[in-house]
Amino acid sequence: MYKRLLDLPALLRHKSFFLLGPRQTGKSTLLRASFPDAVYVDLLESETYHELSSHPEYLRQRQPERKSCLIIDEIQKLPILLNEVQLMMDRNPSLRVVMTGSSARKLRRGAANLLGGRAWMASLHPLVSAETAGVALSKRLNCGGLPSVLDSANPLEDLRAYVGAYLREEVRAEGLIRSIENFSRFLDVAGMTSGEQVNYTAVANDAGVPARTVREHYQVLIDTLVGHELPACQKTRKRKPVAMPKFYLFDVGVANVLKHIESHSVGSVSFGQALEHQIFLELRAFLDYRRLSLPLTYWRSQSQFEVDFVVGDGVAIEVKAKASVSERDLKGLRALREDVKLKHALVVCLERLRRKTEDGIVILPVQEFFEGLWAGEWIV
């Protein structure tokens, strides 16, 4: 089992919480390891699901008084149970409840409330660099970060099964779409354009579905935690920024399957895209695990200057999948710095050794960036 960075016992000491994340990111495994003595209710078990759907009060009536921790897996399948959870928490303030879910959409639409502030929100992401010591970067860019896939003897087949069984069939099973055929065509196009600016009209034309439906499908991916929107930074005044967001799938390996890429070769366009994608996922996980509310954006001017990631108001990161960073590669960071005061301007690349330019831009090898990120060197 991988040692995860998300400290669930520390969270639970403060408050009950929802633990959200896509299927197979390791939520159940981490919970059982973190709370071995808790009462565990798994709504993926058919008998448990049918019983509690008919008699939600059984959840409250069967909770042993001596137990102070209750875990409900896949709570979005029965949002009605939240009423029982709220009643239990009101009657027993010492009770702590962890509720996992793989669809924020079903929770919002199916529940009268989300416990009125009685529970925090936490996210579990695919494995990040600090959790996969000894796993080569090339393997992570090819296989992604789902634990079962990284450990698989045939990761590509497992990823294909995941895309087929979960991203298509499970979304349909949740009742979130009307046409699986339309959604499948959309998903193929959305996967091919993961990491790019979202152009609803272009995706609609390629997928053969209306632009309005494309917008709804993107929201389904975000609500089911399968994708993340990366907004455009709007802070510059000298150079007018674009406003269109980017979209990234939650896992590099899943994106590879949808892009029909079996492996990346260093120096290829797909390698650079996968590296940028992975760094986005590391940043997103870092902010969530450290419970930092800093905005994560990208910047592109109408005159085509661009910086891949801007964290908060003071950290700008450009990703270059090359072994020698040139002056030309620094133009975006320098243009952004004319408008925004930056604490750190970084280029994450494949150079062997760290260096700093005369005007303070730090050129970082990928692994050194990962280590510095999780050590709190760049973002606090």
Summarize pLDDT for 222-231 with one digit per residue, the tens. 988 889 999 9
Q: How many Å apart are CA 46 and CA 194, to the nearest integer?
A: 35
Q: How many Å apart are CA 163 and CA 175, to the nearest integer?
A: 17
Provide the CATH number for the domain formed by 8-123 in this structure.
3.40.50.300
> Quick one: three-class SS letters along 69-112?
EEEEECHHHCCCHHHHHHHHHHHCCCCEEEEEECCHHHHHHHCC
Domain boundaries, the chain: 8-123, 129-374
Angle (deg, nearest 10), helices 200-207 and 180-192? 120
DSSP reduced 3-state for 337: helix
Mean pLDDT of the chain: 91
Phi and psi at residue 315, in whole multiples of 5°? -125, 120
Question: Would you say the pTM of this structure is higher than 0.85?
Answer: yes
Among 99-113, 118-132, 137-151, 190-204, the range scoring the smallest mean pLDDT is 99-113
The pLDDT of 184-191, averaged and rounded, is 89
Q: How many Å apart are CA 128 and CA 5, to the nearest integer?
A: 9
Q: Which ranges in the chain belong to alpha helices (H)? A: 8-14, 27-34, 46-54, 57-61, 81-91, 104-110, 137-143, 147-150, 155-162, 171-173, 180-192, 200-207, 211-223, 252-258, 269-289, 331-339, 366-374
R_g of the chain computed on alpha carbons:
22
Decide if 195 contacts 248 (C-beta within 8 A): yes
Query: Would you place residue 170 in the very low, low, confident or very high pLDDT band (cuts 50, 70, 90)?
Result: low
pLDDT in the model for residue 112: 47
DSSP reduced 3-state for 41: strand
